[in-house]
Chain A
């Protein structure tokens, strides 16, 4: 009970600060995923086209994924020094695997018959990609972004050791303080909340982008009635 009171007290005293860190934390994760999407989606399409490349690219992304987050940050620090950029770069690396893999799977899973009829109707290769492959793979690609975003929100917490700020700062302050339970929670709860919300929002987008759309029957009947 006392912890909860302390927690509420902490928020009431440091609301602005927590919000600032929350925002910063989210931006780091989002930028990591954004850059990874810029590189990863075209790369995924490329390896779906040239299948011989796919084992190389996918194993490389897999290896990156297996490196422990702290070790990765430490190594990157040696090269890039301290600061937010180092953290964003690490998040970028962690996002690559889910994004490349899902793009690759999504494009590969498009029904062969659809590709054939697209080609036979006289689509150029680019038109097949734009009008058939990408729309049909979009839900799967979106699922990759969703996984990547949830992972990066978690890992961004450790970014505090590189001096990047974010909600990790609050958690570490709590661990350093005597009786810091409330402060740890003050940092941990928003982090978890952010991950859950990101997952829900991205899941909504994923469903929206599913190719198997339902006709909006209700709107139609309303129009007919009016």
Chain B
């Protein structure tokens, strides 16, 4: 899909930003370019849509040399998201989302329909179409920025530290949302960042660069397990390397497979009875197909006891992880968001288990006292 063939870039004055880079990526891959500032990662990315022209070598997209294409045409076929977001302040959200479509001369009704469709992808209501960028929060603005890059269904999207300017909590949720979106739409993403956590979380493959040179290009797990050299090790950081060592990898291995649940039709008194029997302070609410609906806990019951009689009246949504998620990502959401537990669901939202803080304590306990867990 995307191929770099001995690409170099020398700026005026002889500074070599990128030196003899050869890489190849498949369709649907999420690629993170990472490295300290000035390592040439942004230059590499901008060469793909010819915002910067390579000095030597060639770049191919689907076998076509980009230097043979008209740069304007080329850029319309590649999505682009930047850290500063870059929504046009004089245009409303609809106009902003469908800007590329306008350049491609789509008729007005089709543009509006497409904008609505896209807005739905990020769970924003249609009334956002009429709003102006400055009326939105930073996180919402960047969601729109991402949608703008998806508008013409471009197969390749370039992103230059898109979540860098957001606060940690917004960044976290946007990363998750975006990763899901990428899997669903099967886009090839080239993502530039200097945040190792972000790269480990999102990337299928990570390209580590230093002084314009390629240092290592591998999957996150491979990089964590076998860093190419000291530079990579230092860049990843000691604590992440330690985290990567344990044998336990995915949440299924540590979750409690029998979470205590209740269905929506039950009365609150029954729910309290279950809590008492099982000695817990919250219950996960599921429907008859075991699909997770949310949670209830003692406090919620206490607050709404007077108005509500059934469990379904007071159920609150809950953040979940999908089966197959790495343990370190789950730990992160438990610690960062201060959640007491995270339900584990399969891809159809059916509840299959729960990870609680107690499970995490078990891991720590095992790694200290367990017979076969000590690998370090």
CB distance from A54 to the nearest CB of B (A): 22
Residue in contact with B72 in the complex, picked from A111, A116, A124, A220, CB distance below 8 Å = A124
**Sample (25) of A-B pairs whose CB atoms are under 8 Å apart:** A111-B86, A113-B82, A113-B84, A113-B85, A113-B86, A114-B86, A116-B86, A117-B80, A117-B82, A121-B75, A121-B148, A122-B73, A122-B75, A122-B103, A123-B72, A131-B88, A131-B99, A132-B88, A211-B89, A212-B89, A212-B90, A215-B92, A215-B131, A215-B135, A220-B130
Apart from A120-B82, A120-B158, what 7 extra A-B contacts exist at CB < 8 Å? A113-B85, A116-B82, A120-B51, A122-B75, A124-B72, A132-B88, A215-B92
Give the interface SS of chain A, mostly helix, strand, loop or mixed: helix
Contact B80 A212 (CB under 8 A): no
CB distance from B47 to the nearest CB of A (A): 12
Contact A117 B86 (CB under 8 A): yes
Give the interface SS of chain B, mostly helix, strand, loop or mixed: mixed
CB distance from A114 to the nearest CB of B (A): 5
CB distance from A206 to the nearest CB of B (A): 14
Q: A113-B82, A113-B84, A135-B90 are in contact. Are A120 and B49 (CB under 8 A)?
A: yes
Contact A121 B90 (CB under 8 A): no
> In this complex, what residue of A is CB-closest to B81?
A117
Chain A residues within an 8 Å CB radius of B103: 121-123, 127
Query: How many Å lie between the Cα of A132 and that of B89 in the bound state?
Result: 9
Task: Encode B9-48 as 1/0 by CB contact (under 8 A) with A.
Answer: 0000000000000000000000000000000000000000
Chain A residues within an 8 Å CB radius of B82: 113, 116-117, 120
Task: Encode A129-144 as 1/0 by CB contact (under 8 A) with B.
Answer: 0011001100000000
Query: How many Å lie between the Cα of A9 and that of B86 in the bound state?
Result: 62
Query: How many Å lie between the Cα of A136 and that of B158 in the bound state?
Result: 26
Q: A116-B86, A123-B103, A132-B88 are in contact. Are A212 and B132 (CB under 8 A)?
A: yes
> In this complex, what residue of A is CB-closest to B104?
A122
Instruction: Give the one of A118, A119, A120 with max B CB within 10 A.
Output: A120
Count B-side interface residues using an 8 Å CB cutoff.
28
Chain B residues within an 8 Å CB radius of A120: 49, 51, 75, 78, 80, 82, 158
Contact B75 A136 (CB under 8 A): no
Contact B80 A213 (CB under 8 A): no
Instruction: Give the one of A122, A127, A131, A220 with max B CB within 10 A.
Output: A122
Residue in contact with B100 in the complex, picked from A113, A114, A121, A220, CB distance below 8 Å = A121
Query: How many Å lie between the Cα of A32 and that of B90 in the bound state?
Result: 30
Chain B residues within an 8 Å CB radius of A215: 92, 130-132, 135
B336 within 8 A of A: no
Contact B100 A122 (CB under 8 A): yes
Q: Using a CB-CB cutoff of 8 Å, which residues 80-122 of chain B contact chain A?
A: 80, 82, 84-86, 88-90, 92, 99-100, 103
A214 within 8 A of B: yes
B328 within 8 A of A: no
Task: Encode B58-86 as 1/0 by CB contact (under 8 A) with A.
Answer: 00000000000000111111101010111
Chain B residues within an 8 Å CB radius of A121: 75-76, 80, 99-100, 103, 148
Q: A127-B103, A213-B132 are in contact. Are A114 and B88 (CB under 8 A)?
A: yes
Chain A residues within an 8 Å CB radius of B158: 120
Query: How many Å lie between the Cα of A127 and that of B51 in the bound state?
Result: 16
Query: How many Å lie between the Cα of A212 and that of B90 in the bound state?
Result: 6
Q: A116-B51, A212-B132 are in contact. Are A122 and B76 (CB under 8 A)?
A: yes
B134 within 8 A of A: yes
Chain A residues within an 8 Å CB radius of B72: 122-124
> In this complex, what residue of A is CB-closest to B83?
A113
Contact A119 B75 (CB under 8 A): yes
CB distance from B49 to the nearest CB of A (A): 6
Chain A residues within an 8 Å CB radius of B76: 121-122
Query: How many Å lie between the Cα of A117 and that of B103 in the bound state?
Result: 13
Task: Encode A211-223 as 1/0 by CB contact (under 8 A) with B.
Answer: 1111100001000
Query: How many Å lie between the Cα of A118 and that of B103 in the bound state?
Result: 11
CB distance from A145 to the nearest CB of B (A): 19
> In this complex, what residue of A is CB-closest to B73?
A122
> In this complex, what residue of A is CB-closest to B99?
A121
Chain A residues within an 8 Å CB radius of B51: 116, 119-120
> Which 9 pairs from chain A and chain B are nearest by CB?
A122-B76, A117-B86, A113-B84, A211-B90, A122-B75, A120-B80, A113-B86, A211-B89, A135-B90
Query: How many Å lie between the Cα of A131 and that of B82 in the bound state?
Result: 19
CB distance from B135 to the nearest CB of A (A): 7
> In this complex, what residue of B is CB-closest to A135?
B90
Chain A residues within an 8 Å CB radius of B135: 215
Query: How many Å lie between the Cα of A123 and that of B92 in the bound state?
Result: 18
Chain B residues within an 8 Å CB radius of A211: 89-90
CB distance from A78 to the nearest CB of B (A): 47
Chain B residues within an 8 Å CB radius of A135: 88, 90
Chain A residues within an 8 Å CB radius of B84: 111, 113
CB distance from B189 to the nearest CB of A (A): 15
Query: How many Å lie between the Cα of A127 and that of B88 in the bound state?
Result: 13
